[in-house]
A and B are shown apart, each in its own frame.
Chain A
Amino acid sequence: MPETLADAARRQDVFFETQSAEAIGPIEKRVSFASRAWGNGAFRKTLILIALAVVWELYARHLNNDLLFPTFIQTLTAFFNEMADGTLPRRVWVSLKVLLTGYGIGILIAAFITVLALVTRIGEDLLETLTAMFNPLPAIALLPLALIWFGLGAQSIVFVLVHSVLWPVALNANSGFKSVSPTLRMVGRNYGLGLLATVRQILIPAALPSLITGLKVGWAFAWRTLIAAELVFGVSSGSGGLGWFIFENKNQLEIANVFAGLFTVILIGLAVEGLIFRTLEERTVRRWGMQS
């Protein structure tokens, strides 16, 4: 039964006193150490890594076959030995040099094509067509061609690296630029910003989440391609890189060293992801609330 106006008028207005904050007691309380540690992503991930290492160690001991599956401790020992005598650092350096060259050139070309795509419609068509054509093409498939064009050297590897980096970076950058909010674009035009100023001051920061994703994917693709290419013909580039280190040790049946090589690849991957990209994200897109 709905209340009538007359009923409402009969009811009295009521007022209450609120308690002071001190009277209620602590409003905010620090949580326990354990639950704070559990809330820390790095801590949880470290736990996962330790668990994986333990599983590895136990399984390898159970298998008891150094030729097929060395234990975690054997791998670590091989890793530290190779690190200490300078072989592994040298190989890593050779690989990284080639990797960074290819990565850098790939990013530059991607930047050029995406800006072209931003500015002109035909540029966008070009980018879309080229990525549709070349993105699915495995970089390794270009290796035989690269060998004919550039010979047995670092140049050939750089060429396939550029191919593996260019398309994912360009694709992500393009989709990032496209998804910049129209309001923000209008704000830039409202200020009377020129083309390059708009790209630099509005579009790049606004598209940064996608740009970083592109860089990450490009980095991963570059690593894979590099190791695979070196496995095939890494010796040609003089001292040989990490892929060649793995291949060489496999031929000599130094399986612990093979594992140490793979272990190094993983370590570098983790370091780049955890230190460089994570820091970049934390300083930018996370801080700005563009990514949670």
Chain B
Amino acid sequence: MFFARPSGPDSVGDPVSDVRRPTEGAPLLSLKAVTLQYKTRDSLVTATYRVDFQVFKSDRYILLGPSGCGKSTILKAVGGFIRPTEGQILLNGKRITRPGPDRMMVFQEFDQLAPWKTVRENILFPMRATGKFSRAEAQERTDHYIEKIQLEKFADAYPHTLSGGMKQRVAIARGMAMEPDILLMDEPFAALDALTRDRMQDELLRLWEDTRVTLLFVTHSISEAIKIGNRILLLSALPGQVKAEIGTRDNSFLDAGLQAMIHDILFSDTATAAAAHA
């Protein structure tokens, strides 16, 4: 079996083969028994409980679960915004302690772009602010990515003149242009209308084909998970625990059975029972 959990059922069966999964080499990102808690005004909430998973280079790794499963919290922890109360998060074998540009983040909110910077300046901003690229190199990369996301006409426009989909494309380009070790995406398409979302998913996949950037992608949509991911981590709610990790094939999005299975796993009490049912 490809993956193993420290306790509980060994797996959910072998639903789909892992044809696209690179198996060699050390994982790029690994979470080991990570428990995440955050404080609200008057209580301590456990968002996830002992979550384990590994992301390999060039994975399109999806965190999927109902709201309140702590998937966004996991992403923020990988981003370095939250420290785990238990367990550890390793990137390239090193412990994550603080936010950094090696883990660029794409948020759901449209206001993640600086309104005082044009499209070009927004993409340029992190490359120059971190000093990762020289001025000339950063310019060149910016132009390249503006062309990639087909916003040449809007290169000097301010974000408030763009549509939601365009803003998200800029945010994705900004993240990818930085060549991070891993690109963290927190439901980046959730606030878009359905047609735009569909186009954006295609566009993300196309950009991924070019860059092979490792993605860690949070979503609550089963179909989006199947379309974008090559590995899907299913989480339970309150607190988030791993229910299953599933691989997809190229044409999995046509597979109604896979959708139904994921649905059953997410909404049943035990993963094994659901898998058996499927």
What is the distance, in angstroms, from B34's C-beta to the closest C-beta of chain A? Answer: 20
A86 on the B face (CB < 8 A): no
Inter-subunit contact B111/A190 (CB<8 Å):
no
Distance between Cα atoms of A184 and B103 in the complex (Å): 16
B79 on the A face (CB < 8 A): yes
Interface residues of A in 225-271 (CB under 8 A from B): none
Interface residues of A in 189-208 (CB under 8 A from B): 189-193, 197, 201-202, 205-206, 208
Inter-subunit contact B115/A183 (CB<8 Å):
no
**Given known A184-B114, A290-B115, contact A193–B129 (CB-CB < 8 A):** yes
Residues of B within 8 A of A190 (CB): 79, 99-101, 103-105, 126
Inter-subunit contact B99/A288 (CB<8 Å):
no
B130 on the A face (CB < 8 A): yes
What is the distance, in angstroms, from B154's C-beta to the closest C-beta of chain A? Answer: 14
Inter-subunit contact A191/B101 (CB<8 Å):
yes
**Given known A206-B114, A288-B115, contact A191–B109 (CB-CB < 8 A):** no
**Given known A184-B114, A290-B115, contact A191–B130 (CB-CB < 8 A):** yes
Residue among B100, B114, B158 making CB contact with A192, cutoff 8 Å:
B100
Identify the closest chain B residue to A284 (Cβ).
B116
Residues of B within 8 A of A205 (CB): 114, 116
Distance between Cα atoms of A193 and B101 in the complex (Å): 9
Residues of A within 8 A of B111 (CB): 181, 183-184
Residues of A within 8 A of B126 (CB): 190-191
Secondary structure call for the A interface:
helix
Interface residues of B in 85-126 (CB under 8 A from A): 98-101, 103-105, 107, 109, 111-112, 114-116, 125-126
Residue among A192, A288, A290 making CB contact with B130, cutoff 8 Å:
A192
Residues of B within 8 A of A284 (CB): 116
Distance between Cα atoms of A206 and B112 in the complex (Å): 11
Identify the closest chain B residue to A290 (Cβ).
B115
Chain B 121-164 against A: per-residue CB contact (8 Å), 1 yes, 0 no? 00001100110000000000000000000000000001111000
Inter-subunit contact A183/B99 (CB<8 Å):
no
Distance between Cα atoms of A267 and B107 in the complex (Å): 48
What is the distance, in angstroms, from B11's C-beta to the closest C-beta of chain A? Answer: 35
Residue among A181, A189, A202, A289 making CB contact with B159, cutoff 8 Å:
A289
A36 on the B face (CB < 8 A): no
Chain B 35-61 against A: per-residue CB contact (8 Å), 1 yes, 0 no? 000000000000000000000000000
Residues of B within 8 A of A67 (CB): none
Identify the closest chain B residue to A187 (Cβ).
B112
Ordered by A's residue number, 10 sampled pairs between the chains whose C-beta atoms are within 8 Å are: A186-B79, A187-B105, A187-B114, A189-B81, A190-B126, A205-B116, A284-B116, A289-B115, A289-B160, A290-B115
